[in-house]
Structure 1
Amino acid sequence: MAKLALNFYKLLMALSCVAMVAAFGTVLLGVIAREVQWDIGGLDAYAGYAIAAALFLALPATLKHGDHIRVTLLLDRVPARLRGALEWWCLAVAFSLSLYIAWYALRLVWVSYTTHDISPAADASPLWIPQISMALGCIGFALSFGHALVERWRGGSFIAASAEASHVE
Protein backbone atom coordinates (compact mmCIF):
# COMPACT_ATOMS: atom_id res chain seq x y z
CA MET A 1 0.00 0.00 0.00
CA ALA A 2 2.84 2.40 0.85
CA LYS A 3 4.47 1.69 -2.52
CA LEU A 4 1.21 2.59 -4.27
CA ALA A 5 1.06 5.89 -2.38
CA LEU A 6 4.69 6.68 -3.18
CA ASN A 7 4.05 5.99 -6.86
CA PHE A 8 1.00 8.27 -6.69
CA TYR A 9 3.20 11.08 -5.29
CA LYS A 10 5.69 10.49 -8.12
CA LEU A 11 2.91 10.59 -10.72
CA LEU A 12 1.60 13.86 -9.31
CA MET A 13 5.14 15.30 -9.35
CA ALA A 14 5.58 14.25 -12.98
CA LEU A 15 2.27 15.93 -13.84
CA SER A 16 3.48 19.00 -11.95
CA CYS A 17 6.58 19.06 -14.13
CA VAL A 18 4.43 18.83 -17.26
CA ALA A 19 2.30 21.70 -15.96
CA MET A 20 5.40 23.80 -15.30
CA VAL A 21 6.65 23.20 -18.85
CA ALA A 22 3.16 24.07 -20.13
CA ALA A 23 3.23 27.31 -18.13
CA PHE A 24 6.63 28.17 -19.60
CA GLY A 25 5.44 27.34 -23.12
CA THR A 26 2.29 29.40 -22.71
CA VAL A 27 4.17 32.44 -21.41
CA LEU A 28 6.76 32.10 -24.17
CA LEU A 29 4.01 31.86 -26.79
CA GLY A 30 2.40 34.96 -25.31
CA VAL A 31 5.65 36.92 -25.55
CA ILE A 32 6.23 35.84 -29.14
CA ALA A 33 2.60 36.56 -30.07
CA ARG A 34 2.87 40.10 -28.66
CA GLU A 35 6.07 40.72 -30.63
CA VAL A 36 4.41 39.78 -33.93
CA GLN A 37 1.12 41.56 -33.07
CA TRP A 38 -0.84 38.32 -32.97
CA ASP A 39 -3.67 38.25 -30.44
CA ILE A 40 -4.23 34.87 -28.80
CA GLY A 41 -7.03 35.24 -26.29
CA GLY A 42 -6.84 33.45 -22.96
CA LEU A 43 -3.10 32.74 -22.85
CA ASP A 44 -2.74 34.49 -19.48
CA ALA A 45 -5.51 32.36 -18.03
CA TYR A 46 -3.94 29.15 -19.35
CA ALA A 47 -0.57 30.13 -17.89
CA GLY A 48 -2.28 30.73 -14.57
CA TYR A 49 -4.03 27.36 -14.69
CA ALA A 50 -0.72 25.63 -15.45
CA ILE A 51 1.11 27.40 -12.62
CA ALA A 52 -1.66 26.53 -10.15
CA ALA A 53 -1.59 22.91 -11.36
CA ALA A 54 2.19 22.77 -10.91
CA LEU A 55 1.88 24.11 -7.38
CA PHE A 56 -0.91 21.84 -6.17
CA LEU A 57 0.29 18.66 -7.89
CA ALA A 58 3.74 19.02 -6.31
CA LEU A 59 2.45 19.24 -2.71
CA PRO A 60 2.64 15.53 -1.75
CA ALA A 61 6.10 14.84 -3.19
CA THR A 62 7.58 18.00 -1.73
CA LEU A 63 6.22 17.05 1.69
CA LYS A 64 7.80 13.60 1.35
CA HIS A 65 11.15 15.12 0.37
CA GLY A 66 11.12 17.56 3.30
CA ASP A 67 10.89 20.64 1.10
CA HIS A 68 8.01 22.29 2.94
CA ILE A 69 8.89 24.90 5.51
CA ARG A 70 8.88 23.41 8.99
CA VAL A 71 9.35 25.66 11.98
CA THR A 72 11.85 23.76 14.10
CA LEU A 73 12.84 26.67 16.31
CA LEU A 74 10.56 25.43 19.08
CA LEU A 75 10.88 21.70 18.36
CA ASP A 76 14.67 21.80 18.61
CA ARG A 77 14.53 23.36 22.07
CA VAL A 78 11.97 21.21 23.88
CA PRO A 79 12.58 17.88 25.62
CA ALA A 80 12.34 14.78 23.42
CA ARG A 81 9.08 13.62 24.99
CA LEU A 82 7.36 16.95 24.42
CA ARG A 83 8.85 17.14 20.93
CA GLY A 84 7.25 13.80 20.07
CA ALA A 85 3.87 15.00 21.34
CA LEU A 86 4.16 18.25 19.39
CA GLU A 87 5.07 16.36 16.20
CA TRP A 88 2.04 14.08 16.66
CA TRP A 89 -0.19 17.10 17.21
CA CYS A 90 1.23 18.91 14.14
CA LEU A 91 0.76 15.86 11.90
CA ALA A 92 -2.79 15.26 13.16
CA VAL A 93 -3.80 18.90 12.66
CA ALA A 94 -2.16 19.01 9.22
CA PHE A 95 -3.92 15.79 8.22
CA SER A 96 -7.28 17.17 9.40
CA LEU A 97 -6.82 20.48 7.62
CA SER A 98 -5.62 18.84 4.41
CA LEU A 99 -8.63 16.49 4.44
CA TYR A 100 -10.92 19.48 4.90
CA ILE A 101 -9.26 21.35 2.02
CA ALA A 102 -9.35 18.25 -0.22
CA TRP A 103 -13.06 17.79 0.47
CA TYR A 104 -13.82 21.36 -0.50
CA ALA A 105 -11.56 21.21 -3.55
CA LEU A 106 -13.51 18.16 -4.75
CA ARG A 107 -16.76 19.91 -3.94
CA LEU A 108 -15.63 22.96 -5.92
CA VAL A 109 -14.93 20.80 -8.97
CA TRP A 110 -18.35 19.19 -8.67
CA VAL A 111 -20.18 22.50 -8.26
CA SER A 112 -18.32 24.03 -11.21
CA TYR A 113 -19.15 20.98 -13.31
CA THR A 114 -22.84 20.83 -12.40
CA THR A 115 -23.41 24.59 -12.78
CA HIS A 116 -21.41 24.79 -16.04
CA ASP A 117 -19.25 27.53 -14.54
CA ILE A 118 -16.85 29.07 -17.05
CA SER A 119 -13.86 31.34 -16.71
CA PRO A 120 -14.62 35.06 -16.94
CA ALA A 121 -11.32 35.52 -18.82
CA ALA A 122 -10.99 35.54 -22.60
CA ASP A 123 -10.53 31.75 -22.68
CA ALA A 124 -14.07 31.05 -21.34
CA SER A 125 -12.97 27.54 -20.32
CA PRO A 126 -15.11 25.31 -18.12
CA LEU A 127 -13.56 25.89 -14.68
CA TRP A 128 -13.90 22.30 -13.48
CA ILE A 129 -11.14 21.23 -15.90
CA PRO A 130 -8.28 23.26 -14.34
CA GLN A 131 -9.77 22.71 -10.88
CA ILE A 132 -9.18 18.96 -11.21
CA SER A 133 -5.44 19.46 -10.78
CA MET A 134 -6.06 21.43 -7.59
CA ALA A 135 -8.32 18.70 -6.24
CA LEU A 136 -5.82 15.95 -7.15
CA GLY A 137 -3.01 17.82 -5.44
CA CYS A 138 -5.11 18.38 -2.32
CA ILE A 139 -6.10 14.70 -2.20
CA GLY A 140 -2.45 13.71 -2.57
CA PHE A 141 -1.47 16.18 0.16
CA ALA A 142 -4.04 14.74 2.56
CA LEU A 143 -2.90 11.22 1.67
CA SER A 144 0.72 12.17 2.31
CA PHE A 145 -0.11 13.54 5.78
CA GLY A 146 -2.06 10.36 6.52
CA HIS A 147 0.95 8.39 5.30
CA ALA A 148 3.20 10.48 7.59
CA LEU A 149 0.95 9.65 10.56
CA VAL A 150 1.13 5.92 9.79
CA GLU A 151 4.92 6.06 9.41
CA ARG A 152 5.19 7.95 12.71
CA TRP A 153 2.98 5.30 14.36
CA ARG A 154 5.35 2.60 13.08
CA GLY A 155 8.30 4.46 14.56
CA GLY A 156 9.70 5.69 11.26
CA SER A 157 9.86 9.07 9.63
CA PHE A 158 7.94 9.99 6.50
CA ILE A 159 9.25 13.50 5.99
CA ALA A 160 12.90 13.60 4.97
CA ALA A 161 14.95 16.04 6.99
CA SER A 162 16.83 18.28 4.60
CA ALA A 163 20.32 19.45 5.47
CA GLU A 164 19.25 23.07 5.13
CA ALA A 165 16.33 22.64 7.54
CA SER A 166 18.51 21.02 10.21
CA HIS A 167 21.19 23.72 9.89
CA VAL A 168 20.98 26.10 12.82
CA GLU A 169 23.11 29.22 12.94
Structure 2
Amino acid sequence: MAISRLLDRVYDAAGVLAGIAMIAIVLIILAQVGARLLAYPLRGGAQFAGYAMAAASFLALPHAFRRHAHIRITILLQALPPRPRLVLDLAGLAVGTVIAAWFAWWAYDLAYISWEIGEVSQGDVAVAMWIPQIAMVVGTALFAVALCHTLIETALTGRGFAPEGDGVLDAAADR
Protein backbone atom coordinates (compact mmCIF):
# COMPACT_ATOMS: atom_id res chain seq x y z
CA MET A 1 0.00 0.00 0.00
CA ALA A 2 1.31 3.41 -0.97
CA ILE A 3 0.02 5.15 2.14
CA SER A 4 1.75 2.56 4.34
CA ARG A 5 5.08 3.21 2.62
CA LEU A 6 4.54 6.97 2.95
CA LEU A 7 3.79 6.64 6.67
CA ASP A 8 6.85 4.44 7.16
CA ARG A 9 8.95 7.17 5.50
CA VAL A 10 7.47 9.73 7.91
CA TYR A 11 8.35 7.46 10.86
CA ASP A 12 11.85 7.03 9.44
CA ALA A 13 12.18 10.82 9.12
CA ALA A 14 11.20 11.18 12.78
CA GLY A 15 13.86 8.57 13.57
CA VAL A 16 16.43 10.61 11.66
CA LEU A 17 15.43 13.72 13.62
CA ALA A 18 15.83 11.72 16.83
CA GLY A 19 19.32 10.73 15.68
CA ILE A 20 20.16 14.36 14.93
CA ALA A 21 18.98 15.28 18.44
CA MET A 22 21.32 12.63 19.86
CA ILE A 23 24.22 14.04 17.84
CA ALA A 24 23.29 17.48 19.19
CA ILE A 25 23.58 16.11 22.74
CA VAL A 26 27.10 14.86 22.02
CA LEU A 27 28.11 18.17 20.42
CA ILE A 28 26.69 20.18 23.33
CA ILE A 29 28.54 18.03 25.86
CA LEU A 30 31.79 18.28 23.87
CA ALA A 31 31.34 22.06 23.66
CA GLN A 32 30.82 22.20 27.43
CA VAL A 33 33.95 20.14 28.08
CA GLY A 34 35.97 22.32 25.70
CA ALA A 35 34.61 25.49 27.27
CA ARG A 36 35.55 24.27 30.75
CA LEU A 37 39.07 23.45 29.60
CA LEU A 38 39.36 27.02 28.32
CA ALA A 39 37.91 28.32 31.62
CA TYR A 40 34.92 29.74 29.80
CA PRO A 41 31.69 28.21 31.10
CA LEU A 42 29.03 27.52 28.50
CA ARG A 43 25.65 28.75 29.72
CA GLY A 44 22.59 26.60 29.11
CA GLY A 45 24.45 23.55 27.84
CA ALA A 46 22.76 21.10 30.20
CA GLN A 47 19.42 22.75 29.54
CA PHE A 48 19.68 22.36 25.75
CA ALA A 49 21.08 18.83 26.08
CA GLY A 50 17.96 18.03 28.12
CA TYR A 51 15.70 19.43 25.41
CA ALA A 52 17.58 17.38 22.80
CA MET A 53 17.24 14.25 24.98
CA ALA A 54 13.48 14.76 25.20
CA ALA A 55 13.28 15.34 21.44
CA ALA A 56 15.31 12.19 20.75
CA SER A 57 13.13 10.12 23.07
CA PHE A 58 9.77 11.25 21.70
CA LEU A 59 10.69 11.45 18.02
CA ALA A 60 12.12 7.93 18.09
CA LEU A 61 8.85 6.38 19.32
CA PRO A 62 7.11 5.72 15.96
CA HIS A 63 10.27 4.58 14.17
CA ALA A 64 11.27 2.22 16.99
CA PHE A 65 7.74 0.80 17.23
CA ARG A 66 7.47 -0.03 13.55
CA ARG A 67 10.92 -1.68 13.65
CA HIS A 68 10.01 -3.88 16.66
CA ALA A 69 12.62 -2.09 18.76
CA HIS A 70 10.34 -1.45 21.74
CA ILE A 71 10.43 -3.92 24.59
CA ARG A 72 7.43 -6.17 24.22
CA ILE A 73 6.55 -9.23 26.26
CA THR A 74 5.41 -11.78 23.70
CA ILE A 75 5.71 -14.98 25.70
CA LEU A 76 1.91 -15.17 26.10
CA LEU A 77 1.27 -14.30 22.45
CA GLN A 78 3.72 -16.94 21.24
CA ALA A 79 2.07 -19.60 23.41
CA LEU A 80 -1.38 -19.01 21.89
CA PRO A 81 -2.83 -20.51 18.71
CA PRO A 82 -2.86 -18.12 15.70
CA ARG A 83 -6.45 -16.82 15.99
CA PRO A 84 -6.41 -15.90 19.72
CA ARG A 85 -2.90 -14.47 19.20
CA LEU A 86 -4.25 -12.17 16.47
CA VAL A 87 -7.22 -11.11 18.62
CA LEU A 88 -4.94 -10.31 21.58
CA ASP A 89 -2.52 -8.47 19.31
CA LEU A 90 -5.36 -6.37 17.86
CA ALA A 91 -6.67 -5.61 21.35
CA GLY A 92 -3.21 -4.52 22.50
CA LEU A 93 -2.79 -2.30 19.44
CA ALA A 94 -6.24 -0.77 19.99
CA VAL A 95 -5.55 0.01 23.65
CA GLY A 96 -2.10 1.36 22.76
CA THR A 97 -3.60 3.58 20.07
CA VAL A 98 -6.10 5.08 22.51
CA ILE A 99 -3.46 5.67 25.18
CA ALA A 100 -0.99 7.22 22.71
CA ALA A 101 -3.70 9.46 21.23
CA TRP A 102 -4.71 10.56 24.72
CA PHE A 103 -1.08 11.32 25.57
CA ALA A 104 -0.63 13.22 22.27
CA TRP A 105 -3.71 15.31 23.01
CA TRP A 106 -2.44 16.30 26.44
CA ALA A 107 1.06 16.98 25.10
CA TYR A 108 -0.52 19.32 22.55
CA ASP A 109 -2.61 20.95 25.28
CA LEU A 110 0.50 21.49 27.42
CA ALA A 111 2.42 23.08 24.52
CA TYR A 112 -0.56 25.25 23.57
CA ILE A 113 -1.02 26.51 27.12
CA SER A 114 2.72 27.19 27.38
CA TRP A 115 2.49 29.23 24.17
CA GLU A 116 -0.70 30.99 25.27
CA ILE A 117 0.64 32.13 28.63
CA GLY A 118 4.17 32.82 27.37
CA GLU A 119 5.83 30.31 29.70
CA VAL A 120 9.63 30.42 29.64
CA SER A 121 12.18 28.03 31.10
CA GLN A 122 13.81 28.64 34.45
CA GLY A 123 17.27 27.61 33.22
CA ASP A 124 20.34 29.69 32.42
CA VAL A 125 18.81 30.69 29.10
CA ALA A 126 15.17 31.76 28.89
CA VAL A 127 13.45 29.62 26.26
CA ALA A 128 9.78 29.69 25.38
CA MET A 129 8.67 26.27 26.66
CA TRP A 130 6.39 25.52 23.73
CA ILE A 131 9.46 25.27 21.48
CA PRO A 132 11.05 22.18 23.10
CA GLN A 133 7.56 20.79 23.78
CA ILE A 134 6.87 20.59 20.03
CA ALA A 135 9.05 17.46 19.78
CA MET A 136 6.90 15.79 22.44
CA VAL A 137 3.72 16.71 20.57
CA VAL A 138 5.02 15.52 17.19
CA GLY A 139 6.57 12.34 18.61
CA THR A 140 3.49 11.25 20.55
CA ALA A 141 1.15 12.13 17.69
CA LEU A 142 3.24 10.13 15.23
CA PHE A 143 3.40 7.27 17.72
CA ALA A 144 -0.41 7.27 17.92
CA VAL A 145 -0.57 7.28 14.11
CA ALA A 146 1.95 4.41 13.96
CA LEU A 147 -0.11 2.37 16.41
CA CYS A 148 -3.33 3.06 14.49
CA HIS A 149 -1.56 2.33 11.19
CA THR A 150 -0.33 -0.99 12.57
CA LEU A 151 -3.76 -1.81 14.00
CA ILE A 152 -5.41 -1.27 10.62
CA GLU A 153 -2.64 -3.11 8.77
CA THR A 154 -2.85 -6.05 11.17
CA ALA A 155 -6.65 -6.19 10.93
CA LEU A 156 -6.57 -6.08 7.12
CA THR A 157 -3.80 -8.63 6.61
CA GLY A 158 -4.62 -10.95 9.50
CA ARG A 159 -0.90 -11.14 10.31
CA GLY A 160 -0.05 -10.29 13.89
CA PHE A 161 2.40 -7.52 14.61
CA ALA A 162 4.13 -9.41 17.43
CA PRO A 163 7.33 -11.19 16.39
CA GLU A 164 6.77 -14.91 15.88
CA GLY A 165 10.33 -16.09 15.21
CA ASP A 166 13.41 -16.30 17.38
CA GLY A 167 13.85 -12.55 17.48
CA VAL A 168 12.79 -9.19 16.22
CA LEU A 169 14.97 -9.46 13.13
CA ASP A 170 12.89 -12.40 11.91
CA ALA A 171 9.66 -10.39 12.28
CA ALA A 172 11.15 -7.27 10.70
CA ALA A 173 12.41 -9.29 7.73
CA ASP A 174 8.96 -10.85 7.22
CA ARG A 175 7.19 -7.51 6.90
TM-score of the superposed pair, with normalisation by structure 2: 0.88
Query: Any stretches of 5+ residues in structure 2 without a counterpart?
Result: 171-175
Instruction: Indicate how the Cα distance of structure 1 residues 157 and 50 shifts in structure 2: closer, same or farther if over 3 A, else same.
Output: farther
1:164 maps to 2:167: yes
Per the alignment, residue 68 of structure 1 pairs with 70
Task: Judge conservation of contact 2:86–2:160 (CA < 8 Å) in 1.
Answer: no
- Amino acid in the other structure paired with 1:3: R
Query: Are the counterparts in 1 of residues 47 and 123 from structure 2 also a CA contact under 8 Å?
Result: yes
Aligned residues: 167
Secondary structure at 1:150 match in 2:
helix
Q: CA deviation at 1:81?
A: 2.6
Among candidates 36, 39, 56, match of residue 37 of structure 1? 39
Aligned structure 1 segments of 4 or more residues deviating by more than 4 angstroms? 156-160
Superposed CA RMSD: 2.0
Larger deviation: 135-144 or 33-42?
A: 33-42
Inter-CA distance 5–33: structure 2 relative to 1 (3 Å threshold): same
- State the match for 1:23 in structure 2: 25
In 1: Cα distance, 2:160 partner to 2:16 partner: 20
Q: Is 1:88 the equivalent of 2:90? A: yes
- Structure 2 CA distance for aligned equivalents of residues 157 and 120 of structure 1: 49
Change (3 A) 1:132 1:11: same
Indicate the SS of the match to 1:58.
helix
Cα deviation, 1:86-134, whole Å, max 9, x if unaligned, reads: 1111000000000001101111110111111111111211111111011
- Matched letter for residue 47 of structure 2: A
Q: Percent identity?
A: 34
Q: TM-score, normalised by structure 1?
A: 0.91
* Unpaired segments ≥5 residues, structure 1: none
Looking at structure 2, the residues matched to 166 and 73 of structure 1 have their Cα atoms a distance apart, in angstroms, of 17
